[in-house]
Each structure stands twice: as structure tokens, then as C-alpha cells.
Structure 1
Amino acid sequence: MSLKYDSAQFLTSAAKFSQCPTDTGAEVAFAGRSNAGKSSALNALTRNSKLARTSKTPGRTQLLNFFTLSSDEHRLVDLPGYGYAKVNRNMKQDWEEHIGEYLAERLSLRGLVLVMDIRHPMTEFDQMIIDWAVETEMPLLALLTKADKLKRGPAKSTWLKVRNQLQTRAPWLDAQMFSALKKDGVSDLTRWLDGQLLEEIPPTDQP
């Protein structure tokens, strides 16, 4: 069984944890720095260029956005971007408070996609999220976006390096290359998501 990701529809937005929808079913959240390509990745996954907002001004979206897949029991969650230099200290504190509460308390959260620009992976923010995933045994996929910006050799080298770093930390951490522009990696991403939202499916190594 595979979920139909092109059926994704906007459900609701939450400015804080108490405004999140009913905590039932299963959901996977997408996190990442504001300029890592998170919205573009979600749009490529769902084949809907308007599903998640993309902006020339990173850090604009400050809400948790929930999307349903066929039914309310399976959801994708777009977490606010983090780490953009122009986001002020109060916004950063709000992010840590509200997103931290979501990550710690949300019972239906089954996995996390950590979006990283393949040219600038494993930032301080990324390490913070990875540490949390190790501590809580939460399945995490590092999605190395903008792979089309590098030649095949350097892109593969970066992927292998990041993947090895993650899997030395915990077996439930993995990484894959992704290009929203070329739609590369979409099928591998859907397999991983199905594994978290439905049942465990062994990941397919990229060539």
C-alpha cells in the first residue's frame, strides 16, 4: 500500500502547539533552515506547486501548516523555517518554544524529514534536530536538496558523507539526495514516508 501524495490538501495552520489539530493518526513533519528548499521539496512531492508557500524572502512562514493525505489520519506537517539571519531573537525563541513543544509532545508524529541544502549540510540547527531524533529514537531522513546545483560526483560524495555520519549515530537516521527542479529523489522520499506513515519498508540505496 502506498499513500497518494498528490492528494495532499491544506488542513489548518497553528501559531502554537495548542492550536494543532486532533492528535490522532500519523504524521511526518518537514523541518529545515529557511533557505534549504523545504517548500519546494513539499511541492515536488505532492505535485502541487502551490501547496507550500515558496518565497524569495526566507523565514517568512512562522506557522505550523498541516496537510491531509486522502484522509485526516495521514498528514504532512510543514514546520516554520529557522535560522535566517534576519529573523530576530524573539522569533527564534518563539520557534524553539513552539516547535520544541510540538516535537516533544505530538503523539502522532512518526518521523521527521530534515531538509538540508546539499551544498551546506549539517548546520548547527541540523545538528540540534539530529540530536533530538537520536535521543527520542525518532526516524529521521536528511533530505539533501538542490542536488542539481552540484555535479554528480560531488553530490554523491556529500550524500555518502552525511549518510555515514547519521548512521554512526543511530540506525533510524538516513539521508538521500533530492532535486525539486528535476524531481530526482521523489520516489525514494515517498517510500520512506510510506514506511513511517503506514508500515516499515526497507529503504532503497541510491546509486
Structure 2
Amino acid sequence: MIIKNSEFIISAVSPLQYPTDNRVEMAFVGRSNAGKSSLINVVTNRRKLAKTSGTPGKTRLINFFLINNEFYFVDLPGYGFAKVSKKEQEKWGNMIEKYLIDRPQLKKIVLLVDSRHKPTKDDINMYEWIKHYGYETIIVATKSDKLKKSEFQKNKKIIKDTLNIRDEDKFVFFSALNKSGKEEVIDLLTEGIIEME
């Protein structure tokens, strides 16, 4: 699928603000510095659609982007890195959890992990949580331009083993810098979407 149109719709803090048109949604989760906004910008060919920042943890709301007037990308607040109070982190956690539990439109979840490092405890918890609720999961290992050729298979095994990735889950390396993995990510995201609507 070619993404021709993408537009920011709303930043939400509660279900009352979520879109009400029942289009299919795909959510992006990951650590604060995993590169969710950069991935969304590369996939949509829009440099500034999702706001990126040198300060991890900038996304503090649930951001909805309408894609091709057909479905939504949903950028969730990052976890595990931002220098915010415990109370603020709990608030984000509750906001994310409420969205993930109570959203029948949500069909796929993209979990971003840094390809250079072993997944963190937060990554493992998030993955287990996603699987507990039965969502189709795509693991995107970001910043792959920083890897040597010899590291790809080794790091893929470390990530898969650490998360205990299920056979049905998809896995792809991605780089926002050189755009490698972009087409594969789009294919995995949009696969079966027409049938879902």
C-alpha cells in the first residue's frame, strides 16, 4: 500500500477525546527514545507529522493520525526513560493501559525496541502485556543503521530470546536515517486492513 495522505487529528488524554468514526487503529509503543515519532514520519513521508525531540519523553498524550482517510496510526507516550515524576509516569501508564484495554478499533500494536541493545524489563513487560490481551504484534528493531552487518543476526536472536517472541509475531529491522525496512513495515502494518474494515 502507498501512503498518500496523512494528517494529525487529535492529542487525547481520555477516551472522550478519541475519534468516534470506528476506523481501524494501529498503535506504536516503546521506550521514550525508541524512535516512534521518527518511524511514523518516515512511513508517512512527512518529516514533521509526528513531533520528534532530542528530549526523550516528549510525547505525553495519545496522538491520532489519520492515514489515507482509511485508518489511524496512534502514537502512545514512551515509557522507561523520561525524567518525570513517579506520579506523572503512573498517569501515563494508566492512560496507555486504558487505551489498550478498551479500544475495539485497535487491531495491531507495533513494539519498538533499540536494535543495538538487549530489550529492557519495561520492553519485556510491555510485550507480555500486549500478548496477554491477544493483539497482533509487530516488533520493530530501530536504529539498525548503527549495526554492523555481522551484528544483525546476533542482535535479532538476543531480542527474540529476551522478549520470548511468539512464532506468529512479525519482526523487522528499521532505520529512520537510511529508511531501510520502511516498505516492510508498511506492508506489515497494512496487511489485512481492508478486510478488517
Task: State the TM-score, normalizing by the size of structure 1.
Answer: 0.87
| Runs of 4+ in structure 1 over 4 Å off | none
Aligned equivalents of 1:127 and 1:163: distance in 2? Answer: 10
Q: Write the mapping of 1:92-103 to structure 2, written as runs, cut at 5 A.
A: 92-103=89-100
Please, which moves more after superposition, 188-197 or 137-146? Answer: 188-197
Query: What whole-Å deviation, never above 9, does each CA across 1:53-79 have from its counterpart, x for those lacking one?
Result: 1101111220111011121x4110011
**Matched letter for residue 15 of structure 2:** F
Q: Write the mapping of 1:164-175 to structure 2, written as runs, cut at 5 A.
A: 169-175=165-171
Query: What whole-Å deviation, never above 9, does each CA across 1:89-116 have from its counterpart, x for those lacking one?
Result: 0111011111001000100000001111
Give 1:126 shift: 1.2
1:189 aligns with 2:185: yes
> Does the CA contact (< 8 Å) of 1:14 and 1:63 recur in 2?
yes
Q: 1:65 aligns with which of 58, 63, 66?
A: 63
> Does the CA contact (< 8 Å) of 2:61 and 2:76 recur in 1?
yes
Q: Write the mapping of 1:118-197 to structure 2, written as runs, cut at 5 A.
A: 118-163=115-160, 169-197=165-193
Corresponding residue of 1:88: 85
Percentage of identical aligned residues: 38
Query: What whole-Å deviation, never above 9, does each CA across 1:140-197 have from its counterpart, x for those lacking one?
Result: 111100001110111232124434565x553332221001100000011011001253
Aligned equivalents of 1:22 and 1:95: distance in 2? Answer: 22
1:77 aligns with 2:74: yes
1:35 aligns with 2:33: yes
> Superposition RMSD on alpha carbons, in Å?
1.9
Give 1:139 shift: 0.8
**Matched letter for residue 101 of structure 1:** K
Task: State the TM-score, normalizing by the size of structure 2.
Answer: 0.91
Aligned equivalents of 1:176 and 1:129: distance in 2? Answer: 18
**Matched letter for residue 77 of structure 1:** V
Corresponding residue of 2:24: 26
**Matched letter for residue 26 of structure 2:** V
> Does the CA contact (< 8 Å) of 2:25 and 2:107 recur in 1?
yes
Give 1:38 shift: 1.2
Q: Alignment partner of 2:191: what SS?
A: helix
Pair 121,141 (structure 1): closer, same or farther in 2 beyond 3 Å? farther
Structure 2 segments unaligned to the other structure (5+ residues): none
**Matched letter for residue 195 of structure 1:** E
